[in-house]
A = this chain, B = another copy of it.
């Protein structure tokens, strides 16, 4: 399928799903004309219904502290299920969603729920299908709280689950890393993506937080492969993590790779390739767990992601593509209709806070060039 026909088909599907979205778009077009005149002196940019399609909200006090930051500026987020224990029953899903909603009482915000991948039977999958947006697969032990993940990719063992997911149109989100050498893990995983994509050609498979040219190249090879890209992997390479001083707040899994990998990610993100969408992989850890003798993996970007994306897309003269990258593509790929929310960003210096409730964000204390002006 070509990208063009893909977009057309996807857009028709979404329009069918949600007429109110069309009205929002019409309204947005009128609004943008008004903004244009205003923007000449204000340098503003408006995003509608931004979505973060890969987010860690954790639980308990951390959830309460962190969820409002995303709910403030995003319409919704795909919430990862790697709690301890992982989200793996219908009760887990409903209860976690309730806790998230309780943490963000004053915002229009949709947590798109995910289930932790295990081999589930058909009856169970049918029972949860309406309550989840996707199922998230972790190789066992590959990242934070993933110990109960998949330890071997035996397609026959996984066939019942994956075929049922395909039949029920439940997308599979995958943390695609082997347990090999840290710089090779994602590229090595491409053979597993090929195996999944060819065995389940109707299953939507999202290659999560891709970091390599190898993964970008895969997008064109299989119709049913999609990808999320973080903002930090569009901005940093391994050089930023360990090339000067070592930076624990830029340490994540998958680790940032080589310059040519970042360029490949930029090439599809800046063009808002219809098979890629924004997923922050924002992952909060308390400061003492980052600045320690064994630093936890995760970059915390949730409260500054849209600002950084504006800065990046503007620097490349691609601001017009940001709407698709942060919302439209995701709605098309997942066939979801986001809660209406309008975020206006303004081009003015913004000093990133040193921490948010004890969690140090990317670029803490540094000045970035866009700030959130208003949320409606």
A258 within 8 A of B: yes
B293→A360 contact, CB < 8 A = yes
B364→A243 contact, CB < 8 A = no
A294→B245 contact, CB < 8 A = yes
A249→B181 contact, CB < 8 A = no
Q: Choose the segment among A79-87, A220-228, A233-241, A301-309 that binds chain B (4+ C-beta atoms closer than 8 Å).
A: A233-241
A183 within 8 A of B: yes
B291→A292 contact, CB < 8 A = yes
A239→B182 contact, CB < 8 A = yes
A259 within 8 A of B: yes
In the complex, the chain B residue whose C-beta lies closest to that of A294 is B245
Interface 1/0 per residue, A231-259 and B, CB below 8 Å: 00000011101111111110100010011
Closest chain-B Cβ to A283's Cβ sits at a distance in Å of: 13
A295 within 8 A of B: yes
A242→B241 contact, CB < 8 A = yes
With an 8 Å Cβ cutoff, the count of chain A residues facing the other chain is 29
A47 within 8 A of B: no
A242→B258 contact, CB < 8 A = no
Determine how many copies of this chain the complex contains.
2
A170 within 8 A of B: no
B243→A182 contact, CB < 8 A = yes
In the complex, the chain B residue whose C-beta lies closest to that of A288 is B291
Please give, as numbers and ranges, the residues of chain B lying within 8 Å of A324 by CB-CB distance.
none
- Known: A245-B297, A246-B251, A251-B246. Contact between A182 and B238, CB under 8 A? yes
- Known: A181-B237, A181-B239, A183-B238. Contact between A248 and B295, CB under 8 A? yes
B295→A246 contact, CB < 8 A = yes
List residues 86-139 of chain A with CB under 8 A from any CB of chain B.
Answer: none
Please give, as numbers and ranges, the residues of chain B lying within 8 Å of A294 by CB-CB distance.
244-247
Please give, as numbers and ranges, the residues of chain B lying within 8 Å of A247 by CB-CB distance.
293-295
A364→B293 contact, CB < 8 A = yes
Closest chain-B Cβ to A247's Cβ sits at a distance in Å of: 6
Given contacts A183-B238, A245-B297, A246-B294, 20 further A-B contacts (CB under 8 A): A181-B238, A181-B259, A182-B239, A182-B242, A182-B243, A183-B258, A241-B242, A242-B242, A242-B251, A242-B255, A246-B246, A246-B251, A247-B295, A248-B248, A248-B293, A248-B295, A291-B292, A291-B293, A293-B360, A293-B364
B-binding residues in A (CB < 8 A) = 181-183, 237-239, 241-249, 251, 255, 258-259, 290-297, 360, 364
Cβ contacts A to B, 12 pairs, < 8 Å: A182-B238, A182-B243, A183-B258, A242-B251, A245-B294, A246-B246, A246-B294, A247-B293, A247-B294, A247-B295, A248-B248, A291-B292
7 shortest interchain CB distances as A-B pairs? A245-B294, A246-B295, A182-B243, A246-B251, A182-B239, A291-B292, A291-B291
